[in-house]
Copies of this chain bind each other. A is one copy, B any other.
């Protein structure tokens, strides 16, 4: 046996787990500011569209085939599909599908995609319990607050080390939302958070494989099942998050406890949620936006372009530096493909990241003419784009903030348009319209089963 290396630990953390549990169990129903309410509904609608849109993707077919081996009971809806599975598996599958296109939401301070773990647990459980829309919206706001505050506490060190922070904070958010829907008291809610704390999901090496979208799904399942266990008296440490050998200090050297407590119940992190205009990782968005803007402003065509030069933060190439992607999934991690597609099509939705488009000669030819240079004086949220045409002209644009950012948010009409693009091919335009309406009024729904049922094929 080896010696016990002494690991520096903070033994004076505030009681984070219990503070969050009190908050989640005790916050009064529906007492949120109108802007928080609005963002919760937009978050739900955007998540629902992403999950339905990916319902027939091979990632879901594969995960569902595995779940079927467990011969699950038919408790809850798989969004966009006619099969039903047990609530834990529904949370898993809907969490996977909502992130499959990498087209969901982003809490920009932490790069967390918060709806995936939280909404997937909340709808599956709410459907089973017959929860009201009000209860689900409350659970969504509170669960996202828990996940994103946990993220603020440990970002960026935790993420830089290699964790996919969506899944490694999402289990806490999903547990919080599930505990709230189950009406657990503060003690049981603390136990739910504690059980979930032992189940972080995901490392960044999985980017480009099906296991990336598995992360929010796995976190949703972990959080939901943790809350069920706590409901039945299963115990965990009441300091599972903050203790010296709790999860925060175990997987991060940055533990800013004040990020949990500052303005708790006043500032809600869902206010900082954003929705992706492009079906790929957020760090490429400024580059795509710049290319699309220059294309439209100058009527550029791919064949007229000699080269595209990007100057970007190092994280862009670290995350999305795949030079020659061969599949749609890989292409989501290629700033080169994304910019080429943006110029060729004027957009970068899911279709532009399909296997077919990735191998199209005009796209690959332009992709090979995209150059990227690291410049850490440029923020991750920005990009410097120069397009040089074959006749020698240079078009330059510095994008400080991409469309979809907090500074240039997607409007409700943008979100609805995105929703149609995702849902129409699966459920048709009329159902998509009805789902948009129902989503944006979810807090008024007597029972969320209605919207879950509406989200399946007739």
Contacts and interface: CB of A to CB of B under 8 A. Distances in A.
Contacts of A195: 211, 214
A133 B167 CA distance: 37
Interface string A210-239: 110011001000000100110111111101
Contacts of A69: 87, 228
Contact of A70 (B65, B86, B215): B86
Interface residues of A, number: 81
B203 A201 contact: no
**In terms of DSSP, what is the predominant structure of the interface of chain A?**
loop
Contacts of A75: 70-71
Given A5-B156, A214-B195, A235 B250 contact: no
A66 interface: yes
B229 A66 contact: yes
Interface stretch (A142-150, A158-166, A339-347): A158-166
B236 A211 contact: yes
Contacts of A237: 205-206, 208-209, 211
Interface stretch (A18-26, A37-45, A56-64, A422-430): A56-64
Interface in A51-98: 58-59, 62-63, 65-66, 69-73, 75, 86-88
Nearest to A111: B1
A83 to B, nearest CB: 14
A62 B210 contact: no
Contacts of A261: none
Interface stretch (A115-123, A311-319, A444-452): A311-319
Given A63-B234, A229-B62, A162 B246 contact: yes
Nearest to A246: B205
Contacts of A236: 206, 209-211
Contacts of A156: 2-5
A379 B246 CA distance: 26
A346 to B, nearest CB: 27
Contacts of A243: 205
13 contacts: A1-B108, A1-B380, A62-B229, A66-B234, A69-B87, A198-B211, A199-B199, A203-B245, A204-B245, A205-B240, A206-B240, A209-B237, A211-B235
Given A2-B155, A3-B156, A199-B218, 16 more contacts: A1-B381, A2-B156, A4-B160, A62-B229, A70-B86, A71-B73, A72-B86, A161-B250, A162-B244, A194-B211, A197-B203, A198-B202, A198-B203, A198-B214, A203-B246, A210-B235
